[in-house]
Amino acid sequence: LIIGSGGHGRVVADVAEKLNKFEEISFLDNNFLNKDISRVVNNKKVLGEISINNIEKFTKNFSHAFCGIGDNKLRIKWLNIINKMGFKIPTILDPSAHISKYATLEKGSFINTNVVIQCNSIIKFGSILNTSCTIDHDSIIGEGTHISPGANIAGNVNIGKYCWIGIGSKIIQNIRIGDNVTVGGGSLVLKDIPNNLKVFGSPINVIKDN
């Protein structure tokens, strides 16, 4: 059962289908309430809207649930809810990804096509590692953080919670990034970034508080 059938939710469903581990893959989405929008998305049913009461109805029909919402904080909110309801929350891992056996992937994380994760890295609860990004050795990707397509994270980098690392960004080794940080697409990060900032540039400059 996937919470959210928007862009990210559809990608999650596509990868889950490749795994051939699930008898059924279906969505909940608030567009269910709009009669003008199809209740079938990529050949998968939208069974109802997103609400606690509605999700509870499916605890007997689905063993596993996952959150396919792109917004970092909303994703963690719903992951915590479905976890408390007793659903099994998997890690969804594309078969093309290259993951060291010494890396740690926490549940609720999503690893997309052609991602590389090197040894002793830790990918925390509810993170998104998007298409063709790379995470080098001994790095930590914090809870609910999104690493966008093509971003390169060097060794021993620590990224906090609820961050968004933009498409094609590069972060050199030994960098520390706080919580709730946005790094704009194509940026080069050569120094630590404290909490709650939005930065952009090559090398980065602070744009504003996040």
Residues annotated as part of the active site: 137
Cα-flanking dihedrals φ and ψ of residue 52, to 5°? -60, -45
Tokens of 57: 């109805």
Contact 110, 127 (CB under 8 A): yes
Q: 39: left (phi > 0), else alpha (psi -120 to 50), else beta?
A: alpha
d(CA 116, CA 129): 9
Question: What is the C-alpha separation between 162 and 193, in angstroms, rounded?
Answer: 14
Burial class (CB in 10 A: 0-12, 13-18, 19+), 162: buried
DSSP structure string for 77-138: HHHHHHHHTT-B---EE-TT-EE-TT-EE-TT-EE-TT-EE-TT-EE-TT-EE-TT-EE-TT
Chain position carrying tokens 């994703």: 75
